[in-house]
Each structure stands twice: as structure tokens, then as C-alpha cells.
């Protein structure tokens, strides 16, 4: 019988320290590349991997690299507890146990031909980053595309190099609460960004991911744009153990966030942003 919990081994090939508590890890399979599916994708933007170290445990992480990339995958790890602490101690060349990809991901086929507003805050950027990478790789399949990204200070804006690259393909609107003198983006209440967004609300979709208070703020931007709730997709983080629908830690109503999520329709969730 196949053991569903058996990981494959990967080697860490690059580590970027994005802040005191956030690191980006790039890893590749010890043997071979990551398999592509019939759509020539290694995963769907919004899916996650289980990653960990033998003897310490594993945790779910959204994949942030391009779904078209089969040589490596990338995750962003915020240090909060046991597994993430051990991951933060890894050096390039270390081995990582990974399983996945799991979860549903964003319905990127449905997004084609439509205007797209993506919104994220702080360390909620990984699943949105993968979606941006997919859109940028297939730019002619999508309409007007906006990325709204907010953080407390300019230093808390992650993936700055990639934002520069993406900025030549899509509109990027940045917002911080506490600016530095050289800051050129929006400041304060994120709703002010609305005036810079031009979409056809009847042919638009939105994708969001971020911490609770940020989601509340994003809700006040996305809904006034006139995008119907059923066309707003939210990636939720639930406490999760197995990633494959066995442990029941991530139940959300009568669904499992690991199988039926982590991406939900806005009209399917309670919006308490816990």
C-alpha cells in the first residue's frame, strides 16, 4: 500500500533573508525535476507543500515560485514555532523533506480573458506571487491586471526585486502605514487605491491572501470595485497537520481546507478573518 505521508527529499539551493523572521527557500528534488501535468504546470498557483525536517515535523507552506518552473520550487518561511525555527537554521545544501503539492489553488483557467485584481498584505504574498508568475508567463491570456500589496513599513514589503520585474507586465500598487521620506507609493488607508484601478467589474475576478486585519481592509477595496462575491477568491490559512484530509485539523464548515481549500469563494466563508 502506498504511504501517503512519505515525503520526497529535496536539496536547498538558495536562501534569501528577507527580514529577521522571514526567509525565502529555493529547493530542488534530489533526483530529477518536479513533474509537470498536462497543462505543463508543476502545480496550480495557490496550492501548498508540506515541508519539514526528519525528527522535527513538517508544516504547510504556499508555493511562491512560478508554476511553469520544473527545476526548483520556492517557499517563504516566517519563523513562528518548532518547524519554522528549524527551517530557519538550514544552510544551502541541506536536505528538506517535502510532500505535495496539495489543495485546490486558484481557478486560473476561469481567470483567463478577465481583468484581475490581486490583493495581499505582508507575508500573505506567497500564493499571490505564484499567481502573478503564472499571469506574467501567459500575459496575453489575461485582461488588465493589478496587484495591490500593503505592509506596515516599506521594509516590510517582501520580494522587492520581483515586484520590479512584474511591474513591467502588470499594474502594481503598493501601500504602507508608516512611510519613509523616499516612499513613492500609497500611505495610510488602503481604500485610496481604488481610484487607480480601472477594470470592467462585470468581467473581473479578484484573488486575496493576507493576515486578518489586512483582509478586512482589502474587502473594503475589492467589493466597492463591483466584483461579485462569487468571483472573489480568498486563500485561507487554517491550522493544518496532514495536508491530505486525514487529521481533520483544518475543517472549515463541512469542508477540509487542505482538500477543498485553501482557496475559497468569498461567498462561501464567514469573513470573521480569525
Ligand X SMILES: Cc1cc2nc3c(=O)[nH]c(=O)nc-3n(C[C@H](O)[C@H](O)[C@H](O)COP(=O)(O)OP(=O)(O)OC[C@H]3O[C@@H](n4cnc5c(N)ncnc54)[C@H](O)[C@@H]3O)c2cc1C
What does the binding site for ligand X look like in residue numbers (CB under 6 A)? Answer: 48, 59-62, 75-78, 80-84, 126, 237-240, 262
- Residue closer to ligand X by CB (options 53, 194) is 53
Compare residues 62 and 242 and give the one whose CB is closer to ligand X.
62
> 101-128 b/e with 16+ CB inside 10 Å = b?
bbbbbbbbeebeebbbbbbbbbbbbbbb
Q: 216 to each of 8, 219, 268, how far by Cα in Å?
A: 38, 5, 16
Q: How far is the CB of 165 from ligand X (least distance, A)?
A: 20
Which lies closer to ligand X via its Cβ, residue 78 or residue 255? Answer: 78
- Residue 77 CB, shortest distance to ligand X, in Å, is 5
Strand partners, 47: none
Sign of CA dihedral 11, 17, 19, 24: negative
Nearest residue to 153 via CA among 191, 179, 116, 115: 179
Give the residue from 51, 100, 45 showing the smallest Cα distance to 68: 45
Q: Which is nearer to ligand X, 91 or 239 (CB)?
A: 239
Determine the residue with CB nearest ligand X. Answer: 81
Please state the closest distance from residue 83 (CB atom) to ligand X, in A.
3
Q: Kindly tell me which of 127 and 150 has the beta carbon lying closer to ligand X.
A: 127
CB of 149 to ligand X, least distance (A): 15
Name the CA radius of gyration of the chain, rounded: 18
Give me the least distance between CB of 30 and ligand X, in Å please. 22
Task: Tell me which H or E stretch contains 191.
Answer: none
Q: Tell me which residue has cell 518561511.
A: 77
Amino acid at each position: 500500500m502506498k504511504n501517503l505521508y512519505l515525503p520526497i527529499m529535496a536539496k536547498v539551493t538558495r536562501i534569501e533573508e528577507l527580514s529577521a523572521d522571514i526567509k525565502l527557500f529555493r529547493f530542488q528534488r534530489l533526483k530529477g525535476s518536479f513533474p509537470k501535468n498536462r497543462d505543463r504546470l508543476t502545480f496550480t498557483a495557490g496550492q501548498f507543500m508540506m515541508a519539514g525536517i526528519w525528527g522535527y515535523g513538517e508544516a504547510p507552506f504556499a508555493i511562491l515560485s512560478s508554476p511553469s518552473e520544473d527545476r526548483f520550487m520556492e517557499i517563504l518561511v516566517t519563523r513562528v514555532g518548532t518547524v519554522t525555527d528549524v527551517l530557519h537554521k538550514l544552510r544551502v545544501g541541506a536536505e528538506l523533506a517535502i510532500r505535495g503539492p496539495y489543495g485546490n489553488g486558484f481557478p486560473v483557467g476561469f481567470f483567463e480573458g478577465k481583468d484581475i485584481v490581486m490583493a495581499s498584505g505582508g507575508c500573505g504574498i506567497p500564493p499571490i506571487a505564484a499567481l502573478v508568475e503564472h499571469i506574467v508567463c501567459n500575459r496575453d491570456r489575461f485582461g488588465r491586471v493589478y496587484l495591490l500589496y500593503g505592509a506596515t513599513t516599506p521594509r516590510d514589503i517582501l520580494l522587492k526585486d520581483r515586484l520590479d520585474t512584474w511591474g513591467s507586465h502588470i499594474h502594481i500598487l503598493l501601500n504602507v502605514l508608516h512611510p519613509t521620506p523616499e516612499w513613492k507609493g500609497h500611505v495610510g488607508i488602503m481604500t485610496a487605491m481604488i481610484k487607480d484601478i480601472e477594470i470592467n467589474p462585470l468581467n473581473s475576478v479578484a484573488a486575496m491572501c493576507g493576515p486578518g486585519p489586512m483582509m478586512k481592509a482589502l474587502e473594503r477595496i475589492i467589493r466597492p470595485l463591483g466584483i461579485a462575491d462569487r468571483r472573489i477568491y480568498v486563500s485561507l490559512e487554517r491550522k493544518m497537520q496532514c495536508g491530505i484530509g486525514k487529521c481533520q485539523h483544518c475543517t472549515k464548515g463541512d469542508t477540509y481546507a487542505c482538500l477543498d481549500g485553501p482557496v475559497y469563494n468569498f461567498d462561501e466563508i464567514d469573513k470573521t478573518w480569525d
